[in-house]
Amino acid sequence: MSNQQKERQRLDALKEKLNNYAYSYYVLDQSLITDAEYDELYQELLMIEAKYPEWVTLDSPSQRVGDQLLEGFQKVKHAQTMYSLSNAFNEADIHAFIKKVEEVVGSQHSFICECKIDGLAIALTYEDGLFVRGATRGNGQTGEDITQNLRTIHSLPLRLRKPISGEFRGEAYMPKEVFLKLNEQRDEAGESPLANPRNAAAGALRQKDPAKAAKRQLNIFMYNCSSQSDIEATSQGELLEEMEAVGLRTNSFRKECHNFNEVWEFIQTVGQKRHQLPYEIDGVVIKVNAFEYQEKLGHTIKAPRWAIAYKFPAEVAQTTLLNVDWTVGRTGVVTPTAIMEAVQLAGTTVQRASLHNVDLIEKLDLHIGDQVVIHKAGDIIPEILEVDLTKRKRDDRPVAIPTECPQCHEELVKIKDEVALRCVNPNCPAQRLAQITHFVSRLAMNIDGLGEKIVEQLLDHHLIENPADLYYLKQEDLLKLDKIKEKSANNLIQAINESKDRGLDRLLFALGIRHVGAKAARLIAEEFGTIETVMIAEAEQVGQIEGIGEIISQSLVHYFQQESSLKLIDRLKKIGVKTDFQTTVIGTQQTNEFKGKTIVLTGSMNAYTRNEAKQILQNLGANVTGSVSKKTDILIAGTEAGSKLIKARDLGVTIIDESTFIEKLVESGINDAK
């Protein structure tokens, strides 16, 4: 066999391995190899493809994100009409639907009830198992070709596990946690917030640059296929199982029901759990299970007679706007927050709602005393939807827009292309408070016991001005603070000293560099190894790191061009703060909360890869498994935790998030818990 033939065989083997690893990680929520091992194989694949570009195929992992901008979206005719669904809004509507079904097919039937994902309908075309085209629903008969953007979704298989052909239907969506983080980043950058996860997903899939679409971190659930598809199934339940078998991601939160009572019970169950789900839903879809009965029931011009969508009532509430509070963040952005009379909304008491920026206040024409309608964007963030103008009083006054910083009273500015007001005074006390509070937070330097109130006192007493000053504090300094006694002071000094060993990635995140989150900080630390190397890195070098874009790289370089940043790093180094990347994680206690426990990891983490977290837990004596059962003691849920989180709740399993996990690692003696 020639060397070229061997390389071709190796390339085919690499594609199969990498696609299988991606399927396991993004669809089955199981990690088979470490990130480093995956990266090594991926780089080998890129080297072979660079040598033989004619061997690059559509199912190669290298084709997930192309570097070619899309000029426009071509029209695509669907293999079969993508119908919309008729809606039901109450019990009577569901009763009527079931009655009509039974009039045609009798009572010996069942329904498959599925969550109605609030995303963007998509159609994926596969030929002999290869993903060749993806399209929007459009008008149901013709959609737009968004293949390149859909390729950026890691849970979408580029090649199915069987060589079948067909057009498969589903929903692309933005996970709630991703939506929340994106809006936090946009707020910090002075950009307009995304309205809701659905609009954010739709916008991502219509990006002209696939690399920008990839940053929206979308996911998919598939639920149907055209009649021309090769899937062999006689019912909706079998279809979902077959789609899972070939590698398509389906939603496991579904149920087969046999009568109205079972259907209505499932709707109520979903309604109770919808706010805990990692994705947004707006109802439940009820489908006649057997395909022979679906065919018998047929369609109207617009919708199938064998399915209906129960829509949850819009969860809104009306209350009185009492005031608007203006707060200054660590980057100087001044953010307005509505203060309202307390009201119940989506299971919680709401008194504050995000207003994001001045443009939104002006758009809503907000007046103090207004009756405002609020909802939870993405089931997470309380927001004002509109003002009930019929209830506005003559003496209600417009919300005053500040012209100076509410803390330092310096003039506020509106930087070009930003919608936010910003305080540009580097000595603003509010910015200092926010910056230092961020520095000591759990995912940053994790200085236990040093919260915002103590930081505020330290600033008020002029004991600190920047994060480095924390490491120069003495016990007598802390004893000057309110409610701090000798024992508390000693504990704080010890916690501050212990934080010196966190390592480069934690330090980079703690510095509060714009756009550099915990995950980006770790990627940068892994690449460069030391703070000295990071400080002299050029934007082009940083931008070449997988997962780091131009905005992050430019922001990082700009930060280390500031004289104040260089002085801060110099003082941190002199006092003994570790500024190199720590790769070894060691537990120092013989006993810990995880020892002997059966633990399941799910979702994505900012500070660790799942393999790293698994290794740490195993070092601590835990039994880490891949599935939730009655024997599971703890579920550690990262972002976009899915069906495992639901099952854990149903079984009463103890659930902790990433921050709590890190806190418990520190308690267990992990000396550089991220």
Q: Which residues have a catalytic role annotated? A: 116
Tokens of 44: 């080998």
CB atoms within 10 A of CB 611: 18
DSSP state at residue 331: T
Map residue 654 onto helix, strand or coil: strand
* Contact assessment for residue 433 and residue 455, using Cβ atoms and an 8 Å cutoff: yes
Tokens of 538: 């050029």
CA angle in degrees (0–180, nearest 5) for 616-618-619: 65
DSSP state at residue 500: G
**In sequence order, which residues have a C-beta less than 8 Å from that of residue 575 and are 6 or more positions away?**
468, 471, 472, 500
Q: Which of 554, 560, 522 is nearest to 541 (CA)?
A: 554
Q: How far is CA 517 from each of CA 197, 329, 614, rounded to the nearest angstrom?
A: 21, 15, 22
Please count the residues of the chain. Answer: 674
Residue 221 is inside which H or E element, if any?
strand 219-225
* Contact assessment for residue 635 and residue 617, using Cβ atoms and an 8 Å cutoff: no
Map residue 432 onto helix, strand or coil: helix
Rounded Cα distance between 41 and 18, Å, is 8
Rounded Cα distance between 552 and 187, Å, is 15
Rounded Cα distance between 290 and 297, Å, is 11
